Chains A and B, each alone.
Chain A
């Protein structure tokens, strides 16, 4: 191998290594950006849950006596329990895989909480799809799986033990959780695909920059006196 081709080889190795690093940086920057968005989203949802509970069912009556409805306590304390850990992780450890999974799990648990607070209204179930779409902003399919498993498990367990809380009726068909889970699988198929496209875009950006870098290097070499 001539010294010229060895030189080209070495320069190419450097450019490819920088492209790999650029790809990693693009992905990590995106993970951190979405983690920060989740911090504010979780905070907003916690406050929204309290607002819903206070607006819809602030008091429970027992004759002429009243006390604060358990939904208000659920919204405040259960909501804080669901949002507390992911908000801490997204603030202190943004960009880490564990942070993404906890944020994804928390996001769909908020869907569960809101469904409960609204008495199992079917319309509130749409929050699940919004949550999954938001999780897909990570451009990482794995947190989507975490979230989807939790949605299915939540529907199964609450459907079995407390069906009014999730479906708003006392005796739903035993298989209703499967129907809901299948709709989640349906949207997941597209969201996983969108994650793959997103990663491919990051790779294309990194490679494009590498080739332009090579072009600039080639121009500099051509301009150098022999």
Chain B
């Protein structure tokens, strides 16, 4: 396991109002929980590691959170 995987995702691409927007991890986590949950429910979010590789959502979210 490398350092980027250990810290969870690095950034996320979300679909807001039909447009794809890149958000840093901090920006994503600053969104209200309900908005994040809605993005996940509708499949409108993808998570990426520091090397811009897509991460499985389960892996990205298990290691997320403002700690």
Residues of chain A lying within 8 A (CB to CB) of residue B2: none
By DSSP majority rule, is chain B's interface helix, strand, loop, or mixed?
A: helix
* A204 and B41 contacting across the interface, CB-CB below 8 Å: no
Residues of chain A lying within 8 A (CB to CB) of residue B3: none
Residues of chain B lying within 8 A (CB to CB) of residue A205: 65
Confirm or deny: A16 has a beta carbon within 8 angstroms of a beta carbon on chain B: yes
Select B37's contact among A5, A201, A211, beta carbons within 8 Å: A211
Confirm or deny: B38 has a beta carbon within 8 angstroms of a beta carbon on chain A: yes
> How far, in Å, is A201 (CB) from chain B's closest CB?
6
Confirm or deny: B62 has a beta carbon within 8 angstroms of a beta carbon on chain A: yes
- In the complex, which residue of chain B has the Cβ closest to the Cβ of A207? B33
- In the complex, which residue of chain A has the Cβ closest to the Cβ of B40? A214
* B64 and A16 contacting across the interface, CB-CB below 8 Å: no
Confirm or deny: B43 has a beta carbon within 8 angstroms of a beta carbon on chain A: yes
Bound-complex Cα distance A203 to B62 (A): 14
> How far, in Å, is A38 (CB) from chain B's closest CB?
27
* A204 and B40 contacting across the interface, CB-CB below 8 Å: no
Interface residues of B (CB under 8 A from A): 33-34, 36-38, 40-43, 57-58, 61-62, 64-67
